[in-house]
Amino acid sequence: MAQAGMKTIRAYVVKMAIDGRVISVELESVREMVRLLSNISNNINQLTRKTHETGNIHAQDVEILKNEVESIWGQTQVILQKINKL
């Protein structure tokens, strides 16, 4: 019950009776992915404004976004691997 993060024995017993198992999900990976998505959204907005103002886009800015997207994909893989272990 404690490992599943359930607060009452009743909730634990009901969950076990219905599903036969309790799955506890660690959300830190999801929080990290949300943070990364927020960062890239902000950077895309800044890059869009900058491009509209100057009329051009810098390769370095595109490379930064590419690295951020790769980081998000890496975090996604971590989450999917944890889900597959359930």
pLDDT digits (tens, 9 = 90+) for 20-69: 876 777 778 788 888 888 888 898 999 899 899 998 888 898 898 888 89
- Residue 65 token pair: 């976004």
Query: How much is the pLDDT for 7?
Result: 85
Q: Is the pLDDT of residue 81 over 80?
A: yes
Query: How much is the pLDDT for 75?
Result: 85
**68 near 36, Cβ under 8 Å?**
yes
Query: How much is the pLDDT for 53?
Result: 92
Greater confidence (86 vs 73) lies with: 73
